[in-house]
Structure 1
């Protein structure tokens, strides 16, 4: 019986904590947060946009910087 009470208290506590953390978030904020995992791959972001109709703010991945002469990889 004590175990059931503790488990119920834990579930209620987690629910209250999540509700408190999200109380000032708008629906747009939550939608943007759900699309973050797709933002680093432009091709996947495009597919998610086509599938969901939501705009993914994809990060533009730049080309690797050219290294200064003498600063290349050391191969042993």
Structure 2
């Protein structure tokens, strides 16, 4: 009986803790957070935008800069 009470108290505490953490978040904040996993790949971000209609602020990965001749890695 004690284990049921402790488990119930843990679930209720978790519920209120999550609710307290999210009480000041807006719907836009939650939508942006749900789209974060797609933000690092621009191609996937475009596909998700087409599928959901939501805008994703994708991070453009930098192209590797070209090295000057003679400044590259040494191949032996």
Band the TM-score falls in, shorter-chain normalisation: 0.7 to 0.9
Tell me, in whole angstroms, the C-alpha distance in 1 between the residues paired with 2:59 and 2:37.
Answer: 11
Alpha-carbon offset, residue 65 of structure 1: 3.5
Counterpart check, 1:36 vs 2:36: yes
The normalised TM-score by structure 2 is 0.85
Tell me, in whole angstroms, the C-alpha distance in 2 between the residues paired with 1:67 and 1:33.
Answer: 37
Q: What is the number of residues matched between the two proteins?
A: 74
1:4 is matched with: 4
- CA RMSD, Structure 1 to Structure 2 (Å): 1.9
Query: Could you list the runs of 5+ residues in structure 1 that have no partner in the other structure?
Result: none
CA displacement, residues 22-60 of structure 1 (integer Å, 9 cap, x when unaligned)? 111000000000000000001110111111110111001
CA displacement, residues 2-40 of structure 1 (integer Å, 9 cap, x when unaligned)? 111111111111111111111110000000000000000
Q: Structure 1 runs of 4+ off > 3 angstroms?
A: 65-68
